[in-house]
Amino acid sequence: MARTHHPRRTVLAALAATSLLALGACSSGSSANTADNGGDDTITIGFAQVGAESGWRTANTDSIKSTLTADNGFDLKFSDAQQKQENQIQAIRSYIAQGVDVIAFSPVVESGWDAVLQEAKQAGIPVILTDRAVDTDDDSLYESFIGSDFVEEGRRAGEWVSQNLGTEPINVVELQGTTGSAPAIDRKEGFADAIADNSNVTVIDSQTGNFTRAEGKTVMEGFLQAHSDIDVVFAHNDDMALGAIEAIEAAGKVPGKDIKLISIDGVKDGMTALADGKISYIVECNPLLGPDLAEIAKKVVAGEPVDKRIVTKDEAFDQEAAKAALPDRKY
C-alpha cells in the first residue's frame, strides 16, 4: 500500500501531547538506544511489545532491539505491555503524544484497537503490525502486517498428527494460547480443520495456558487428573509444551512415549526437547522480525508502496531435523 510521507508533525504532536499529557510515557527509560530524535534521517519508532511470556517473545524482542538501532538509522522507543491490552493502548497513545514517525506493535488480543489506531491515523503516524493481526473492518488503520500464518501452522500440526498418529484412535488435549489472541484463535482453527475428516483423532479437552511454561504445566496437571486416556498434547507454543513435559514426568509418565507432544514455535529449548525425543513434532514460527520491520518502516516513511500482508517463511521439524538444525539455531 503506497503512502505519502508526512513532514515532521510538530503541530499534531503538540495537540496529541496536550490531550494525552496525563498518560506520560508507558515505559520510562526503556528506549532501546539514545539516538538523537531530531535528526532528519533518523526514524523514530515506538514499539509496544506484548510482554516476555516465552522464549519466542524474548527472541522476537532481541531481534527488534538489535535491528532498530542508531547505527541503522532508528531511534527505538520500546515498551513491555506485560500481556495487558490496556498497557499497549497507553503505550501507543504515548507514542502519538511524542510524535514518533512510526508505531509498531504485536497486539495482545485481536479486538479493541480501532479507537487508538484512529488516533494514530488522525495524527498522521503510520502503524505496522508485527506477529499478530487486529480484528478491524478498516484496514486503512495500519500500513502492513508482518508475521506468520497461524492458521497454516495449526493445520500443519494437525496434518502431522492425523497422518502419523491418527492411524488408530487417539485422544488429544490442547494447550491454547492467550484467549482472544490471534495465534490462539488461528492455531486452534487450523488444527481442527486438519483433523476434521479423521474420526480416529478426538480433542477431549482444551484450555488456555497463556503461552507460558508455568501455566502450561498447571493446565497439564489438571488434564492428567481429569483424563486417564491422553495420547497426545497439542500445545500452541513450545513453552507450554515444556511445562506439560514437566507435569507428565512428575506423573510418572514418559513424554514422547506414553504421551506424545506436538508444538509450535521452534525456540531452542523446544528444539532440544524435540531432539531428545520428548516432543515429537514442531511447526516453526519465526520470531526474527526485526529486519522485516526495519525495511517496511523505511519504505513507509519514504512514501514507497508496501505489501499489506507479509508472511514470514516457517519450517517444520521432526527429531532428526531438530538434531541437524540445533547447532546453528539462532533462537
pLDDT in tens, 256-271: 999 999 999 999 999 9
> Do 180 and 273 belong together in one domain?
yes
Q: Please, which pLDDT band fits residue 39 given cuts at 50, 70 and 90?
A: very low
10-24, 31-45, 165-179, 308-322: range with lowest mean pLDDT: 10-24
Residues 275, 302, single domain; the answer is: no
Do 186 and 301 lie in one domain? The reply is no
Helix/strand/coil for 134: coil
Q: Please tell me which residue, 174 or 6, carries the higher pLDDT value.
A: 174
So what's the pLDDT on residue 300?
97
Same domain, 122 and 235: no
The pLDDT of residue 30 is: 33
Single-letter residue type at 205? D
- Identify the domain containing residue 261 by its residue range: 150-285
Q: Looking at the structure, do residues 226 and 265 belong to the same domain, yes or no?
A: yes
102-116 in b/e form (b: 16+ CB < 10 A) is bbbbbbbbbebbeeb
DSSP-derived 3-state class of residue 275: helix
For residue 5, being part of any structural domain is answered with: no
Tell me whether residue 326 is in a domain: no
Domain identity same for 86 and 199:
no
Average pLDDT over the chain, rounded to an integer: 90
Are residues 227 and 297 located together in one domain of the fold? no
Q: Do residue 279 and residue 292 come from a single domain? A: no
Residue 154's pLDDT is what? 98
pLDDT digits (tens, 9 = 90+) for 52-77: 989 899 999 999 999 999 999 999 99
Q: How many angstroms separate the Cα of 10 from the Cα of each of 40, 99, 198, 207?
A: 13, 7, 60, 48
Asked if 296 and 243 sit in the same domain, the reply is no
Return the pLDDT at 14: 37
Question: Distances in Å between the alpha carbon of 82 and those of 27, 91, 210, 236, 277?
Answer: 11, 12, 12, 19, 32
Same domain, 19 and 140: yes
pLDDT value of residue 25: 32
pLDDT at 32: 34
Asked if 37 and 154 sit in the same domain, the reply is: no
- The answer to whether residue 2 is domain-embedded is no
Contact 271, 60 (CB under 8 A): no
By the 8 A CB rule, do 197 and 166 touch? Answer: no
Strand order in the sheet with 127-130: 74-80, 43-49, 102-105, 127-130, 144-147, 309-311
pTM above the 0.85 mark?
no
Write down the pLDDT at residue 4.
Answer: 38
Q: Are 176 and 184 in contact, with CB atoms under 8 Å apart? A: yes
Closest by CA to 310, choosing from 44, 128, 118, 166, is 128
195 and 68 together in one domain: no
Number of domains composing the chain? 2
* Contact of 53 with 210, CB cutoff 8 Å: yes
Of the candidates 38, 117, 26, the one whose C-alpha atom is nearest the C-alpha of residue 70 is 38
Write the CATH number for 260.
3.40.50.2300
DSSP-based three-state secondary structure for 184: helix
Count of beta carbons in the 10 Å neighbourhood of residue 189 = 15
Mean pLDDT of 93-112: 97
Query: What residue spans of the chain are helical by DSSP H?
Result: 10-19, 55-67, 85-98, 114-122, 150-164, 182-195, 213-226, 238-250, 268-275, 290-301, 319-325
pLDDT surpasses 50 at 139? yes
Cβ contacts of residue 290 below 8 Å, gap of 6+?
63, 64, 65, 66, 67, 68
Residue pointed to by grid coordinates 516476555: 52
Asked if the model's pLDDT at residue 109 lies above 90, the reply is: yes
Per-residue pLDDT at 330:
82
**Greater model confidence, 146 or 34:** 146
Asked whether the predicted pLDDT for residue 169 surpasses 60, the reply is yes
Q: Which position has the higher pLDDT, 7 or 234?
A: 234
Query: Any residues with CB less than 8 A from the CB of 209 and at least 6 apart, and which?
Result: 175, 176, 177, 215, 216, 218, 219, 220, 235, 236, 240, 243
Q: Are 27 and 81 in contact (CB under 8 A)?
A: no
pLDDT at 68: 98
Q: What is the pLDDT of residue 36?
A: 39
pLDDT of residue 40: 63
Backbone angles phi, psi at 260, to 5 degrees: -95, 150
